[in-house]
Amino acid sequence: MPGGLLGIEGLDRGEIEAILERARHFQKQQAETRKMDTLRGRMIVNLFFEASTRTRTSFEIAAKRLGADTISITASGSSVDKGESLVDTLNTLNAMHPDAIVMRHAASGAPHFLARYLVATPIINAGDGTHEHPTQALLDARTILDRRSTLEGLRVAIIGDIAHSRVARSNMYLMSKFGAHIVLCGPASLVPQALAEITPGVTITHDMRDALRDADVIMMLRVQLERQHEAAFPAGEYFHFYGLRLEHMELAKPDVMVMHPGPINRGREISSEVADSQRSVILNQVENGIAVRMAVLDRILSN
Ligand code: CP
């Protein structure tokens, strides 16, 4: 962890608990102090080769709240547009001696490559291809634990395009380490049986009603058309079989939490009535992204 954060798979429970506790501390502290000087004089580069609203903004806010300087670089508008290679971009940035690099990339493993290449600079994975999105799983866990005392024994239904989802993978690793029951659901083309082998405690169904029955947590996922090479599922048909609607809510526990990492596609994987309902914690997830990313930066960078 002091060397960066590449994924949830390699973290043990103690490290995850320490980040979530620290995030809890920052959740409370943010109500009183908007700006701290824990990371004053540190420089964090946010290097986003893929679109992002929530992750990029909240890493930037988190770093600034801790007193660090930040620089945000996106592929469009940088010299990547002029054909600069990843290695040359990394060498260029490293010559400016950042204290950490937060990286999102469409290629699975890109941050791991960067970490092997720039051994002295902590790398934080902000989402790599279909592989992992560790801070999303951490903020999801923080959001659940704000409302439940433990993850152990919770029934967590993850519904949608699991095959292409780094959010699903990171959450599966995290929830499994804490003894949650994970139910994956979606069309067979987007939820292949092999996904059940990734972690213990996973079952697969292609029937939405089975997945929702007695769920404590429902995590809805966007269909990632940008990562699909096969013909897309027609939107109306998808919503009919796998879209979360008010009529589904009675199947789950009465206090079920509806989550979504965003961006949401209303009327495709979730109805507006559910997204805006009392059961939805979607904006709480966004809010917790700041405290969790503060905790990660603090753990990696403060002395
Ligand atoms: N959840 C998430 O990663 O959102 P962004 O793509 O907007 O960062």
Whether residue 134 has its Cβ less than 6 Å from ligand 1:
no
Residue 225: per-residue pLDDT: 67
* Mean pLDDT for back-to-back runs of 10 residues, the chain (303 residues): 88 98 93 85 95 96 96 82 83 91 95 90 96 98 98 98 96 98 96 95 97 98 72 78 96 98 95 98 98 98 84
Q: Whose CA is nearest to atom 4 of ligand 1?
A: 54
Predicted TM-score (pTM) above 0.85: yes
Residue 229: per-residue pLDDT: 60
* CB burial of residue 206 (10 Å; 0-12, 13-18, 19+): middle
Whether residue 262 has its Cβ less than 6 Å from ligand 1:
yes
d(CA 262, ligand 1 centre) in Å: 6
Q: Whose CA is nearest to atom 3 of ligand 1?
A: 55
Whether residue 143 has its Cβ less than 6 Å from ligand 1:
no
Residue 2: per-residue pLDDT: 60
Which three-class secondary structure string do you get for the chain?
Answer: CCCEECCCCCCCHHHHHHHHHHHHHHHHHHHHCCCCCCCCCCEEEEEECCCCCHHHHHHHHHHHHCCCEEEEEECCCCHHHHCCCHHHHHHHHHCCCCCEEEEEECCCCHHHHHHHHCCCCCEEEEEECCCECHHHHHHHHHHHHCCCCCCCCCEEEEECCCCCCHHHHHHHHHHHHCCCEEEEECCCCCCCHHHHHCCCCEEEECCHHHHHCCCCEEEECCCCHHHCCCCCCCHHHHHHHHCECHHHHHHCCCCCEEECCCCCCECCCECHHHHCCCCECHHHHHHHHHHHHHHHHHHHHCC
Whether residue 106 has its Cβ less than 6 Å from ligand 1:
no
d(CA 154, ligand 1 centre) in Å: 25
Whether residue 46 has its Cβ less than 6 Å from ligand 1:
no
Atom of ligand 1 nearest to the CA of 51: 6
Whether residue 226 has its Cβ less than 6 Å from ligand 1:
no
d(CA 196, ligand 1 centre) in Å: 25
Q: Whose CA is nearest to atom 6 of ligand 1?
A: 52
Q: Whose CA is nearest to atom 1 of ligand 1?
A: 261
